[in-house]
């Protein structure tokens, strides 16, 4: 067992390239046996059409303002990654995110013109 007051050095190793993953939300929850928490983090945006069809006139011109679109829904949630962690880590991470999220909001308020 470590002695009280002993220094522990932590090294952060960074893979190259290190991905920066933009996210707007997450879906998931506890695993069936409760041993872990899964968070499927996603980027949400308005869905683009699956396909568009436009008629060509006799001169070979296409009016892109006319035609039809085949839609795939209104919103797309692109899953960027899946995070798997113990319940204890999920609680600590949630508290850390909340603390820093609130700090960022306060910082933004102070710096608004």
pLDDT digits (tens, 9 = 90+) for 58-96: 898 998 888 888 888 899 999 999 999 999 999 999 999
Residue 1 has pLDDT above 60, yes or no: no
pTM for this entry: 0.73
Burial class (CB in 10 A: 0-12, 13-18, 19+), 106: exposed
Distance, C-alpha 31 to centroid of its chain: 20
73 part of a folded domain: yes
Give a yes or no: residue 53 inside a domain: yes
Maximal CA-CA distance, the chain: 87
The total number of structural domains in the chain stands at: 1
The verdict on residue 19 lying in a domain is no
* Domain extent at residue 50: 25-86
Q: Is residue 50 part of a domain?
A: yes
Segment 6-46, tens digit of pLDDT: 999 999 999 899 999 999 999 999 999 999 999 999 999 99
Inside any domain, residue 15: no
């Amino acid at each position: 067992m470590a002695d009280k007051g002993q220094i522990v050095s932590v090294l952060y190793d960074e893979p190259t390239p290190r991905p920066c993953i933009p996210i707007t939300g997450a879906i998931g929850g506890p695993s069936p046996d409760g041993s872990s928490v899964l968070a499927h983090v996603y980027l949400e945006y308005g869905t683009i059409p699956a396909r568009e069809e436009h008629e060509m006139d006799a001169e070979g011109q296409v009016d892109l303002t006319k035609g039809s679109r085949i839609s795939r829904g209104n919103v797309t949630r692109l899953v960027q990654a899946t995070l798997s962690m113990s319940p204890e880590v999920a609680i600590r991470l949630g508290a850390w995110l909340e603390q820093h999220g609130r700090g960022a909001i306060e910082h933004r308020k102070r710096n608004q013109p």
